[in-house]
Amino acid sequence: MKRNKVLSLAGMAAKAGKIASGGFPVEKAVKTGKGHLVIVAEDASANTRKRFKDMCSYYQVPILFMETREVLGKVIGKEFRASIAVLDAGFAKAMLGAEGQQKKEECVCQK
């Protein structure tokens, strides 16, 4: 149920233009400080998962691993997406609150 809330908020953020999706745009958002939360698909490659986990740890950006590439893409109105970044602090905070019971290693760090 809580994952549905996170996905719903991601869809609203996408409609508001507050989502970056795809490898390079997400990486740029995190490195420039514009990304407040990263969501990576559970079925993303091991290399992709490790790259984003390490990057988010270094830049102190929370990260969630959830759903599939197909679901993440569909939520934001695109095709398959292995990663998305939330560019709005309010949406990111609401999503982290809705996903409050994620495993410790899934949420690398909180701002």
Q: Is residue 91, in this structure, part of any structural domain at all? A: yes
Band of residue 101 on the pLDDT scale cut at 50, 70, 90: very low
pTM (predicted TM-score):
0.86
Q: Is residue 82, in this structure, part of any structural domain at all? A: yes
Q: Is residue 32, in this structure, part of any structural domain at all? A: yes
Residue linked to tokens 């420039």: 32
> How many domains does the structure of the chain reveal?
1
Q: Is residue 109, in this structure, part of any structural domain at all? A: no
Q: Is residue 84, in this structure, part of any structural domain at all? A: yes
Q: Is residue 49, in this structure, part of any structural domain at all? A: yes
The 10s digit of each residue's pLDDT in 65-86 is 999 999 999 999 999 999 999 9
pLDDT of amino acid 109: 46
Residue 27: which domain range?
2-98
Q: Is residue 103, in this structure, part of any structural domain at all? A: no
Q: Is residue 7, in this structure, part of any structural domain at all? A: yes
Strand order in the sheet with 63-65: 19-21, 83-86, 37-40, 63-65
CATH number at residue 94: 3.30.1330.30
Give dist(CA 110, CA 96) in Å, integer. 9
What is the average pLDDT across 84-102?
86
User: Distance of CA 16 to CAs 11, 80, 104, Å?
Assistant: 9, 20, 29
